[in-house]
Amino acid sequence: MSKPLNNGPFGMYRLATAVVNVIQRALFRVEFIGRENVPMDGSILVCSNHQSNWDPVLLACAIPKQRPLRFFAKKELFSVPVLKHILKRAGQIPVSRGEGDRQALRVVLQKLKEDEVISIFPEGTRSKDGTLGKAQAGVGFFAMRSEAHILPIAIIGKYKFRAKLRVIIGKPIDLSELKARKASAQEASDLIMNTIADLYLKHSLTK
């Protein structure tokens, strides 16, 4: 069962989500599609394309508050006064960019065992032109080594004032066949990214 949201580690997360939800409503016109696909029990690996620093805001607003998201944050940010306390109280995960951070890997796998929700961008970095890139092996590593639901999400549109954006939440991806034949992490990553691309294409063509 998912853990109840209280005033513990995710109290700050709940407050921050309420604030950014008000901000995104004022800045953009966001349509959330497929919220019914979010599992309310068990761990979730939230996988989305990445084009802007606003992406985590929309993801946090898309997922029910009963399933608070953990994001990766640059380790350097945890050295900034005040901000480090906010990040820690919001349950965010410090990671060293550009190198293998074994501690972060252990933390993520442990949190998934504890039925928590982790957000990860398969591409590993933001797209400069909005096009979808190739997935890194990292997301496949977590997917293949955990029992988490793999939730694909496509964020569609440009972050311009009062622009229309769509956040498409797909159905969880079934990796049982890949796990049965012990497929590589990269193959799992490719499947996840292809699913996101399919959602992006399908909903980009509809009005």
> Would residue 63 count as lying in a domain?
yes
Task: State residue 119 phi and psi, 5-degree precision.
Answer: -100, 135
> Would residue 65 count as lying in a domain?
yes
> Would residue 5 count as lying in a domain?
no
Q: What is the pLDDT of residue 167?
A: 97
Q: Is residue 67's pLDDT more than 80?
A: yes
pLDDT per residue as tens digits for the range 173-183? 999 999 999 99
Task: State residue 149 phi and psi, 5-degree precision.
Answer: -70, 135
> Would residue 134 count as lying in a domain?
yes
Which tokens hold the place of 203?
A: 């909903």
More confident: 166 or 16: 166
Look up the domain containing 65 and give its range: 11-204
Which tokens hold the place of 182?
A: 């012990």
> Would residue 6 count as lying in a domain?
no
DSSP secondary-structure letter at 8? S
In our burial notation (b when 16+ CB lie closer than 10 A, e otherwise), range 130-158 reads eebbebbbbbbbbbbebebbbbbbbbbbe
> Would residue 4 count as lying in a domain?
no
Task: State residue 191 phi and psi, 5-degree precision.
Answer: -65, -45
> Would residue 182 count as lying in a domain?
yes
> Would residue 155 count as lying in a domain?
yes
Q: What is the pLDDT of residue 63?
A: 92
Q: What is the pLDDT of residue 83?
A: 56
Q: What is the pTM of this model?
A: 0.86
Q: What is the pLDDT of residue 17?
A: 82
Any idea what the CATH number is for the domain that residue 144 is in?
Answer: 3.40.1130.10
Domains in the chain, number? 1
Q: Is residue 4's pLDDT more than 90?
A: no
**Res. 186 pLDDT band, cuts 50 70 90:** very high
